[in-house]
Structure 1
C-alpha cells in the first residue's frame, strides 16, 4: 500500500513538472505583446520611432511615450537606455509646439556610428500642458522651505502651478516602477544601472538631477541641460534655489559609481543660471566629484531653446554614454 502511494506521488510530481515545462516552453515560444507601435508620422534623420499612446499609470496622468530605435536595431544585440523628458520635443520639429527639436536621432546616430558612444535606445516621455511643472519639480526639496517661503512661492501669479500639487515623486515612480519594466520587457536592453541614464532640460534638468538622487540604484548617469535652478518664475529673494541646493547636498549619489552633467547658457532664461554655477561646483566637489564624473559647462551666447540644446547635445551624450571599445 505504501509503495502504491509513493508511485502515485511520483506520477503526480512528474505531471506537475511536465506541465511547468510545457508552460515555460509555450512562454518562450510566444512572442512578447508589442505595445509600442510604429509611428510613421515622425520625420526622422535616422532610425525608427515607436509610440505607446496613452500609457496608463496609477501615479500620473496618461500620456504618450515614444521609443527611438537606431538604424539596424537588432534583438541579437543589447542596448543601453536613455530616458528623456519632454518627449515631443526631441525628434521632429513638425510635432513640437515651437517648431524646434533636440535632434536626438541625428546626434545619437552619428555618435554610435563613429563609436563615440555605446549603442543605446531613447525612451521619450511626453509632458502634458498645464502639468509639466508639477511633474518635473524635485518634490522633496520643497520641504526645505520655511512655511513663509512656501506661501510666497505658492502665491506667485503662475497659471502653471497656481493651486496645484507637486507630483515629482509620482512621476519618478511611474518611470521606475511602471515604464522601465515595460521597456526592459519589450526591447533588447541592459537592465542594470550602469547602462541606464536620464536626461532633460530646464525643469527636465531638475528632474534628471532628482531622478539620479532618488534612484541611484536605477540610474548611473544624469544630464541636466540649462538646469532651471530658480525652480519656478525667477523672482527677487527667491528661496527655491537654496532649497534645491540643500536637497542636492544631502542626496547626491556616490561619485564612484555615478556621473552628473550640468550646463547653462547666458541668454534669455539661461541668463539667470550662471550665478548658481559656483555653488553647484562647491557642492559637487565636496561630495567627491571631479572632472571624470562631473561637468558644469558654460555655453556663452546660447539661449534657452531646443535649437541651443541641439547644437551641444553631443557633449552630454558622449559624457554619459562614452564607448570603451
Structure 2
C-alpha cells in the first residue's frame, strides 16, 4: 500500500488549487502492469489522514484489510480535498428542486463547475498518471453530508463517467432548528440512469441535520424509478451512528464491498430493537431494525423484506418496523427477506429487583 499526495492541483474551471490524496493498493507496484478500478472521494483530506475534529475515515486501512481478506478486489482511491469556505458552493448544484437560496448558508452554487473539474480536469489527469480502468463500470464516487448530495447529483447527471455512487448521510433538506421548516436542497430524477450500483446510508443519531424520513424518501424515489432493491440499490441504517467521521469510518467498508466485492450468500438475518422517535407518532412503542449480513462481509438494511406479527398474541407492527402495541405474553415480531426470516420476542421483560440496603 502507498499513500501519495499531489499538492496544489490546479483547476482552471474553478480558478483554484487543492491537494489530491491517492491510495495505491498493495499489488500496484508488483510489475504486472494491470489496471485497477477507481474510487473518487469528496472531502479528500479526511479519507486517509486526521483532518476535521482530528478524525479520519482511515479508508486506506479498511481497503488494505478487505483486500487481504479477499472481500474486495484491489482498487485505487483518489481523495479530492474540499476548499473549506468554498465547500458548500462547490457541492451545490443550481438544479430544479434545489432551493439553495433558503439553505442555511449563503450559497453561490458551483456544483456544475465542480462536476466538470472532476470529469474534465482531474479524471483525465489521474487516468494518464495511474493504471486505472476508465469506464463507468469501474469508476465510483463517494461522499458524506453535502458530499453525499453532490455525489447524487453528479452521478445522476453523468452515469457515463461514474457508475457507482456512495451516498453517505446525504444532506437533502435544510431543517430550520427554530421552527423545523424543511427546505429541499436536492433534485429529483424520475428516470432510471444506467448506473451499476448505488449505496445510501445514514445514522439514527444525526439529529435534524440528516433525518431518516428524508433519506428514505430519496430511496423510495429511486425504487420508483426502477433501481433493483438490495442488489443495485443498497440501503443501510445504523440506529446508533452520529454525523461524524468516526461513525463514517465504522461503516465505510460496506460501500467498498458493495461496489468492488462479492457479497456471497445471505449468512444471517437479525432484528434489533431501538427507540422510536417523535417522527413515528405518539403511539409508537419502539422500532425494529432488520439487518442482512452476507458471506462476503456486506451488511444492509433490506428494502425488499416485510415485517409481520408472530406468536399467539400478535404485535401491531407496520411496514417500517414501528411497533404500536405494548408487550404481551407469547407475542413476537418477525421479518421475512426472500427465503429467510427472523423473529424477536415481544413478551414483557422480567422486572429487575432493586437491591435492599440495611
TM-score (norm. length: structure 2): 0.67
In structure 2, do the counterparts of structure 1 residues 297 and 194 end up closer, same or farther at CA, with 3 Å as the change threshold? same
Q: Partner of 1:98: helix, strand, or coil?
A: helix
Query: Distance in 2 between the 1:276 and 1:114 partners?
Result: 35
Q: Partner of 1:315: helix, strand, or coil?
A: helix
Bigger-Rg structure (1/2): 1
Query: Distance in 2 between the 1:167 and 1:186 partners?
Result: 27
Deviates more, 1:204-213 or 1:224-233: 224-233
Matching residue of 1:176: 119
In structure 2, do the counterparts of structure 1 residues 270 and 122 end up closer, same or farther at CA, with 3 Å as the change threshold? farther
In structure 2, do the counterparts of structure 1 residues 239 and 92 end up closer, same or farther at CA, with 3 Å as the change threshold? closer
Equivalence map 1:146-225=2 (5 Å) = 151=101, 153=102, 156=104, 161-162=105-106, 164-225=107-168
Q: Partner of 2:166: helix, strand, or coil?
A: strand
Query: Distance in 2 between the 1:183 and 1:278 partners?
Result: 35
Q: Partner of 1:182: helix, strand, or coil?
A: helix
Equivalence map 1:207-246=2 (5 Å) = 207-231=150-174, 236-241=180-185, 244=186
Contact 1:265/1:298 (<8 A) preserved: yes
User: Alignment partner for residue 54 of structure 2, among 81, 99, 111?
Assistant: 99
Query: Distance in 2 between the 1:232 and 1:132 partners?
Result: 19
TM-score (norm. length: structure 1): 0.74
Structure 1 stretches of at least 4 aligned residues deviating more than 4 Å after TM superposition = 231-235
Query: Distance in 1 between the 2:208 and 2:137 partners?
Result: 31
In structure 2, do the counterparts of structure 1 residues 100 and 240 end up closer, same or farther at CA, with 3 Å as the change threshold? same
Q: Taking CA–CA contacts closer than 8 Å with sequence separation of 6 or more, which of the two structures ends up with the larger relative contact order?
A: 1
Matching residue of 1:86: 43
In structure 2, do the counterparts of structure 1 residues 239 and 106 end up closer, same or farther at CA, with 3 Å as the change threshold? same
Matching residue of 2:196: 258
Contact 1:172/1:211 (<8 A) preserved: yes
Matching residue of 2:255: 316
Shift of 1:258: 2.2
**Is residue 70 of structure 1 aligned with residue 25 of structure 2?**
yes
Structure 1 residue runs of 5 or longer lacking an equivalent are 1-46
Structure 2 residue runs of 5 or longer lacking an equivalent are 265-358
User: How many residue pairs are counted as aligned between the two chains?
Assistant: 259
Q: Partner of 2:85: helix, strand, or coil?
A: coil
Give the number of the structure whose residues are more often helix, by fraction: 1
CA RMSD of aligned residues (A): 2.2
Query: Distance in 2 between the 1:281 and 1:292 partners?
Result: 13
Shift of 1:292: 0.8
